[in-house]
Amino acid sequence: MKTYLHAFAMCQSMFCAIPCPWKVWDEQARGKMLLFLPLVGLEIGLIWVILAQICRLFALPTLVTGLILAVYPYLVTGFLHLDGFMDVTDAVKSWRDLERRREILKDSHVGSFAVINLVLLVVAQFALFSSAADEADSLILLFVPAVSRCCSVLAVTGLKPMSTSQYANREKQTSHLIVTALLLCVFVTAGFLLCGKYGFALLGCLAGYGLALRRGYRSLEGMNGDISGYALTLGELCAVAVYALL
């Protein structure tokens, strides 16, 4: 049990900018960290819902509400996944050979493709949240980060990693895949039961994540954390698009 508690604290500290009062690192718990990523997603989603309700309670201007809800998921993760989005965008959009694409992926410099796509991403998310109807059920935002992170766990655990990935030496843990798949089913079902038609936002997240993952994985011929962040960012954007346009 102690190992699992350590794994949760490590996951919270690594993948979320919300301060974790329990600072610990346990190598024995490292392999269990990803198991708690969907729970961290629920925590992120809960705050997202609270922010939406506060904006509605104080009748904040539409554009202000759109800005707050659009930038929150980037701020709460310390721009971790956004960094992966930019790295993969530069690599994939370069249209170079595989070796060069992987070099670009690891390059600390920011290319023009990353900057252009970052601007388009943020503007799109801001425009979508600003366009959402006043009666839109913001409770669905509770499940969006949890669903996107379930997808990340399944992708990182189940797909072939790149040799340079931090997950390269990670053993394939079937039990983690099963637990995460079950959690994903629970979250999607709960989204439809509690939010009605807005549950389709979660299907939008799944579709967006899957398409982005396919693009990054096929282009770089392997899986790593950057591709996970790239797919997660686009998956959540697709969820917001469905939420705003219903």
pTM recorded for the entire structure: 0.95
More confident residue, 18 or 66: 66
User: What pLDDT is attached to residue 18?
Assistant: 87
Which residues share a beta bridge with 223? 161
With a cut of 70, say whether residue 211 has pLDDT above it.
Answer: yes
Q: Is residue 206 within 8 Å of residue 235, measured between CB atoms?
A: yes
**Which pLDDT band, with edges at 50, 70 and 90, does 3 fall under?**
confident
* Structure confidence by residue, pLDDT tens digits, 64-91: 999 999 999 999 999 999 999 999 999 9
> For the residues 9-35, what does the mean pLDDT come to?
85
Q: Is residue 149 within 8 Å of residue 232, measured between CB atoms?
A: yes
Widest distance between CA atoms in the chain: 53
With a cut of 80, say whether residue 166 has pLDDT above it.
Answer: no
Average per-residue pLDDT for the chain: 93
* Distance separating alpha carbons of residues 123 and 120, to the nearest angstrom: 5
More confident residue, 176 or 235: 235
